[in-house]
Structure 1
Amino acid sequence: MKLTHILPCLILSCFASYGQEKKAETRFDNYAYSDAIESYETLVKKGHSSTEIYENLGNANYFNANYDEAAKWYGKLLELENTTIDAEYYYKYAQALKSLKKYEESDNWMVKFDALKEKDNRGKLFSQQSNYMKNIKENSGRYTIENSYFNSNTSDFAPSFNGSQLVFSSAKDSGIASKKIHNWNGMSFLDLYTVPISEDDTNSESIIKLSKTLNKKTHESSTAFTKDGSTIYFTRNNSKKGSFARDDQGISRLKIYKASLVNNQWKNVTELPFNNDEYSVAHPTLSPDESKLYFASDMPGTVGASDIFYVTINEDGSYSEPINLGKKVNTEARETFPYITASNKLYFASDGHPGLGGLDVFAVDLNNLEETKVQNVGSPLNSENDDFSFIFNEENQKGYFASNREGGRGADDIYNFTESSPLNFSCSTIVTGVVKDKKTNAVLPDTRLTVLNPKGEKIGNTISESNGNYTFKLDCYEGDFTLIANKANYKEENNKFKLSPEKDENIVNVLLASSLEKAKTGNDLTKTLNLEPIYFDFDKSYIRRDAKVVMEKVVDYLNQYPDAMIQIGSHTDSRANDNYNLALSKKRAKSTRKYLISQGINANRLTAEGFGETKLTNNCDNSSSCSSEAHQKNRRSEFIIK
C-alpha cells in the first residue's frame, strides 16, 4: 500500500489543452494514480506524447512502486528532444532501472544526475561510494527470510512488537462500499490487526482486528508501543469525526496519534501536538528508554521528500520541538519507517542512500552518530523492490519487515527473518597516498606523517614505506583534517583535507619541498650541508655505520638535485709509505662511490679519486707526532660539486 510508504508528494503542474489529457491530469493531481495510469496510457495509444504525459506516467507508477513501468516511461521522457528535463527525473530513472537489475546503466544515470546537481547529497553519496555494490555484498547473506502466514492477497506491512503480539497494518478488509477503496492504487483503506508471535501458532483465526477506537474510516498504520503495553502511538490520516479531513490542496495528511489502555480497552485517542494540517507526521518508534519518539515527516526543514525527526518526551508528558536527524541519515529522497533497537541502533527505509532499488533498509548507530557509517543491511532482506518497516529483537535475532518483492501473496507482504550474524557497526576510514619530492617527483620513504582532527588533536601517525606510500586506518571521522609530513632536509608540509567516512579510501598525496640550498661548483657538499666528512678506520676502506648516516644525507641531496654531479675525493693519514696510502685512498674512493650507487645514484654522476696523504687537514705529517684522534681527521672522503 504505497500511500503510507511515502509521505504525500508535491503535485506536478499540468498544462494540457485537450480534454482527455486534462481528465488524466485531474486524476493525477488528486492522487488517483491507478486511474491516472489508465487514462494516460489511453492517450499514448492514441498517439499523444508530451513531457507532462511521460513525467506523470512515470511518477504514477513510481509512487505505486511499479518500478519497471516507471523505468519505461522515464526512459521515454529522457529520450525527448528539444525539452528541458528536471534533474530529479535522472535520479528516479536511475532508481527505477535498479528494479530491472540494470545497475551499470543506473550508475551511468547517477553520474549524469551528480553532474547536474552537484550539491545534492544523493549524488555525493553515490560518488563517494562508487563501489557501493561491494559494500552491500559484504553485508549480505546474514538473514534467512520467510513469508509470514498471516499475509493477505492485498497489502500487509508496518509490523511492530507489543509483548507477545505482533501488530501490523493491512488492507485485507475489502468492504463493499466504494468509499472504502482508495484511488491511489485501487485498494482498501488500512486498518490495524494483531496476531500472536509464535512459530507454532499459524492459525488464521488468531488474526484479530484492533478496536474501532483505533480503526476508523481512514488509513491506520505504523504503531509503536511502550514496553508495558499501556500506550500506543500510531499513524492515521488527518480526520474529523472518524473520516478524512483534507487541506486546501485536497490532501489528507498523515498524523501520529496516541492512545492509552484502560481496563483492557483503548481509550483517550489524542493527536500529538507537533502534527499539522499542512504536512505529514508518521511512522513512530520509541527510543530504548522511551524518552524520545522518532518519526518521519515532510515538515518545514526537511532535507528531502521525507526525513527522520525525533522529539524528546518530557517527564510531564509534553514534547520538545521536532529535531531533524541531519544529513548523516536524511537525503533529498525518502527516509522513512524508523525503528530503534534495544541497543539504540536506528534502522530505516530509504531510496536516497545507495541501494539495490526502491526502498532499502539501512542502519546506523545512534550511540555514535557523528562517527559512524550508514550501512545497507544487504540481501536477501533488501531486494530490487521496496523493502521497509523493519523491526528487530536483538535478544533472539528475530524480526519482521515488509516488501513488495516478487513471489509474495499480495501487494506488500510481511516477512519474518532470523539474523545469523550481526551487522558490523564499527567503522573505519582509510587515508592513503604517496609522498614525493615536489621538484623531482621522486618517492620519499621514511617520511613521518601525523594526522590531526578538526580540534587539533593527534589521531594517528605513521612512516612512509620504501615506495613512498603510507596508510592510516582511522575511526569514522568526518570534517576538516590536517596531515603533517616531516622528513630530514625537507620543509615541513601541512596538508589540509576533508575526511569522509562514506569513502572507502581518502587519497591525500604529499609533495615535499627541499630545505637544502643548492651547493656551488667546487664546494665540498659536506660543508654545504653542515655535515662531518665520512671517516674510515685505520688501514680500512669499508663504510662505517656512522658514515652511512652522513651518506644518507648526501643521497638526499643528490635526489633533490638530479642534475648535480660530484667528485669523490678520498684520503689517508700520513702513517705508512706514500704508495701504500695512495692505493688505500683509491680503495676508499671506490668504496664510497659503490655505496652511493647502491643507494640509487646514477654512476654517471659520480667520479672518484684517491689522493693518499697529499691533502692533510692538519699538521700530522711524517715528521710530527700526533694522537690517534688527530690522525682520524685525515682518513676521510669528501664530495666536491662539479
Structure 2
Amino acid sequence: MTFIQKITATITIYTLLLTCSSIVGQEKKVQKVTDNFNKYAYAEAIESYESLLEQGFTDLEIFKNLGNANYFNANYQDAAKWYGKLFDLENPEVASEYLYRYAQSLKSIENYAESDKWMKKLELAKEKDNRLSKYINNDDYLKTIKENSGRYKIKNLDINSSSSDFAPSLNGKQLIFSTARDSGLFAKRIHNWNNKSFLNLYSADISENGELSNPKQLSGLLNKKTHESSTAFTKDGNTMYFTRNNSKNGKFSRDDEGVSRLKIYRSKLKNGEWSNIEELPFNGENYSVAHPALNADESKLYFASDMEGTLGASDIFVVEINTDGSFGPPKNLGPGINTESRETFPFVTEANILYFASDGHPGLGGLDIFAANLEDSEISTVINLGSPINTPEDDFSFIFNETSKTGYFASNRKEGKGDDDIYSFKETKDLNFEFESTLDGVVKNLENGAILPNATVEIKNIEGSIIATAKTDETGYFNIPFKSTTKELSTVITLAEYEVGGRSFTPNKNGITLEFLLAPKANKVGLGEDVAKYLNMPMIYFDFDKSNIRPDAALELDKIVAFMNEYPEVNIEIGSHTDSRGNDYYNLSLSEKRAQATRSYLIDMGIDSSRLSAKGYGETQLTNNCGNSAENSIECGKAQHELNRRSEFIIVK
C-alpha cells in the first residue's frame, strides 16, 4: 500500500497518545515510540513496539497502536493479530472504530465468518455508522460480489518494478504512473512512513497493440524531493493536475504537527515542458487534497480529501471548473459514496460513471474498487466490481475507457512483482446498475374510453423476463414498483375478450405514467391466419445476415407469448423469410435459422414446444419486387430489403 493512499486515508484523525507508565523509564520508551507514530513513522514504530512487547509490555495502547501501524501499512495479517490481542484484554476501553478495523483486517485475510461476527458486535454497540447500515442492508454481500465477478481479464504489466507502481493515467499514447523505483541517478531517498523511496512520476509508451515500454521519469520540474502522484490530463494534453506533498523550495516539509499534507497542483505544457505549476485554491494547510480526476467535458474536478465536512478518514469531493479556469467551492459527494472509512482515487468515465476505492463499503478486504452512476442524483447503488479486479488485498487507482473496454488499476496482491503493481484489463461484460422506479397508468377500452378493471399488466426487461406485474383496480388504475438494470423495458397488457396491448417505455427514477387502450376482439383469428396481423404487431425484423432476436423484436414476440397463453388450444407455425440478396441455398438456410431462433425464444418464454413448428422459406415469398430476376426486380434500398426479412405466425390448429 502506497504512502499516498495511507496519508490520504488517515490524516488528522489518528492522533494517538500512550497512557503514562508509573515507571519513568518505561514512560520515556513508550513516549518515544508514540512520537514516531504520531509523525507517521509507522515502520519505525512497528519495530519499536515489538521490541517493547519482548520486554514484557502489554499496555492497551501498545496493542492499539501496533494494530493501527500494521493496518495503515496494509499488513493486515499482523494487524489482525494485534487487534485480536487487544480484544483479548479484559474489557478493553476502545472506540468502536477498532471493531471495524479488526473486522476489516480479518476480511483481508479471508476470514469472512469471523469478520461478520465483529461487524455484528459493531451493530450491538448501537452507534450510528454508515458502513454498518451498508453491511446490514447487504449482509449477503459475498454472494452479490460473486455475481459481479468474472467480468474482466487482467494482466500484470512488464513495466512494473520491485517497488511500488500505481496511480495510472492516460495522456495521449502514454501511460503516466507513480513509482517508488530508484532512478539510479541519486542516492536512494527514503521516507520514514514505510521505509520506501520517494514517489516520482514516470511515463511509458503505449504501442498499437497495447504493449507498454520505455518507462522513464518525467521532468525534474515535476519530480522534486517530495512524493508526486495521481495525475489527470485534459484531452488536449496541455494541462495536468497532480498530487504532491507539502514542500518548501522543492523539498519535503511538515506542518507544526509533524504531518506533511497532500495538495493538488496544476501545470501547463509550454514548449514541451511542464511549467507554470500552481497550487489549487482549495488546498489547505491543515488537511490533505489528493488524487485529481476530470469528468468527460472537463467541467468538474473530483478528488479525495479529509477537509472540513469529511464523513470519514477521507471522502470524495467535486469542484466546478469555471470557463476562466477558476474553481467553485468543494462539494462532498455525500453518504451514498462516502463512509466513515477511506474513499479515495476517484475516476469518472465518459458515461459519468464514478469508479473509486473504498474500505468502507462491503468488500473482499482492504481497499476494493467500486462503481456508482453519477447520473443518479441520490447515488442509490454502489457496485463492487468483484474479482479478479478486487482481492482481499488493496486494489485501487482504477481508470477505464468505455469505448475500447480497456483500462488499468493497481493492486498489492501477493502474486505481484512489487509492493504495488499496475495491471491492465479488458472488460468482457458490461456493468449494469440496478435502479428503482414505478410505472403508473390506466387501462381503457379503445372504442368508448370505458375503464377496464382486472387487466393484467406485466413489465418485461430486454431479455423478456417479467420483472414486475399487477392488475388494474376497479377504476382501471395500476401502480407497479420495480427494479431493473436496463432502461429498455416493455409492458404487456392482457384482458379476456380484448386484444393484447402494451408498449415499450424508458423509465426514470421519478416514475412514469402511461395510458393504455385495448381494442375489443371483433372475432377470433381463424385457421391459416397470421396472429401478428390480428394483434396489429409490426413485423419481426432481423439484421442483415443475422438470425438472432433483436431487442425490439423480443418486445413484440412477448405479445405472441401472451396470445398463446390466453388460447392454449392454438398451435402456430413460424414462417421466417429473407430478402433476395445472397444465393437461394444460403437464404433458405438463413431463414431456417431465423425460424428456429424465433421458436426457441417462445419456448424460453414458457410456450410448450409441441405447440410450435418452424419453417424457413428463404426468398421464395418476397413482399415486394426486390428479387433477383430481371423481369420482376427493381433497384431496392436497405429499408425495402428489410421488409422481406420477417417472421409470420400462422395458426395451424
Report TM bin, short chain: 0.5 to 0.7
Instruction: Output the amino acid matched with 1:278.
Output: N
Match of 1:215 in 2: 223
Give the drift of 1:27: 1.5
Match of 1:360 in 2: 368
Q: Distance in 2 between matches of 1:29 and 1:202?
A: 43
**1:97 has 2:90 as partner:** no
Q: Distance in 2 between matches of 1:429 and 1:11?
A: 45
Distance 1:303 1:199, change over 3 A: same
For residues 545-624 of structure 1, what are the structure 2 equivalents within 5 Å? none
Q: Distance in 2 between matches of 1:175 and 1:254?
A: 26
**1:302 has 2:306 as partner:** no
TM-score (norm 2): 0.66
Match of 1:161 in 2: 170
Match of 2:36 in 1: 27
1:11 alignment partner, one of 8, 12, 15? 15
Instruction: Output the amino acid matched with 2:194.
Output: N
Give the secondary-structure state (helix, strand or coil) at the position aligned to 1:5: helix
- Check conservation: 1:174, 1:188, Cα contact below 8 A: no
Match of 2:557 in 1: none
1:255 alignment partner, one of 263, 283, 299? 263
Match of 2:54 in 1: 45
> Percent identity at matched positions?
57
For residues 537-548 of structure 1, what are the structure 2 equivalents within 5 Å? none
Match of 1:375 in 2: 383
Per-residue Cα deviation, 1:124-180 (whole angstroms, up to 9, x for no partner): 000010111111011000111111111110100000011111000000016697882
Over the residues paired in the alignment, what is the CA RMSD in angstroms?
2.7
Match of 2:607 in 1: none
Give the secondary-structure state (helix, strand or coil) at the position aligned to 1:60: helix
Match of 2:75 in 1: 66
- Check conservation: 1:170, 1:192, Cα contact below 8 A: yes
- Check conservation: 2:18, 2:30, Cα contact below 8 A: no
Q: Distance in 2 between matches of 1:422 and 1:351?
A: 24
- Check conservation: 1:373, 1:476, Cα contact below 8 A: no
Give the secondary-structure state (helix, strand or coil) at the position aligned to 1:353: coil
For residues 222-621 of structure 1, what are the structure 2 equivalents within 5 Å? 222-370=230-378, 372-428=380-436, 462=470, 473-475=481-483
Give the secondary-structure state (helix, strand or coil) at the position aligned to 1:369: coil
Q: Distance in 2 between matches of 1:90 and 1:372?
A: 26
TM-score (norm 1): 0.67
**1:2 has 2:2 as partner:** yes
Q: Distance in 1 between matches of 2:212 and 2:150?
A: 30
Match of 1:603 in 2: none
Instruction: Output the amino acid matched with 1:72.
Output: K
Aligned pair count?
449
Give the drift of 1:316: 1.1
Q: Distance in 1 between matches of 2:309 and 2:273?
A: 38
Per-residue Cα deviation, 1:57-85 (whole angstroms, up to 9, x for no partner): 10110001001110000010011104312
Distance 1:199 1:29, change over 3 A: farther
2:200 alignment partner, one of 191, 201, 213? 191
Per-residue Cα deviation, 1:44-102 (whole angstroms, up to 9, x for no partner): 12221111111111011000100111000001001110431211110000000012111
- Check conservation: 2:204, 2:212, Cα contact below 8 A: no
- Check conservation: 2:74, 2:366, Cα contact below 8 A: yes
Instruction: Output the amino acid matched with 2:415.
Output: G
Match of 1:75 in 2: 84
Q: Distance in 2 between matches of 1:155 and 1:471?
A: 55
- Check conservation: 1:256, 1:284, Cα contact below 8 A: yes
Give the secondary-structure state (helix, strand or coil) at the position aligned to 1:77: helix
Distance 1:48 1:476, change over 3 A: farther
- Check conservation: 2:103, 2:116, Cα contact below 8 A: yes
Q: Which has the larger radius of gyration?
A: 1
Instruction: Output the amino acid matched with 1:5.
Output: Q
2:133 alignment partner, one of 87, 109, 124? 124
Per-residue Cα deviation, 1:326-381 (whole angstroms, up to 9, x for no partner): 00100010000000011110000000000000000000011123264000011010
Distance 1:368 1:124, change over 3 A: same
- When structure 1 is superposed on structure 2, of 62-71 and 106-115 the one drifting more is 106-115
Distance 1:3 1:117, change over 3 A: farther
Distance 1:173 1:199, change over 3 A: farther
Distance 1:32 1:381, change over 3 A: same
Q: Distance in 2 between matches of 1:472 and 1:86?
A: 45
Distance 1:472 1:113, change over 3 A: farther
Per-residue Cα deviation, 1:98-121 (whole angstroms, up to 9, x for no partner): 121111110110111122143110
Task: Provide structure 2 residue ranges, at least 5 long, that are not aligned to the other structure.
Answer: 439-453, 458-467, 473-477, 486-508, 510-653
Per-residue Cα deviation, 1:422-444 (whole angstroms, up to 9, x for no partner): 111233489xxxxxxxxxxxxxx
- Check conservation: 2:182, 2:188, Cα contact below 8 A: no
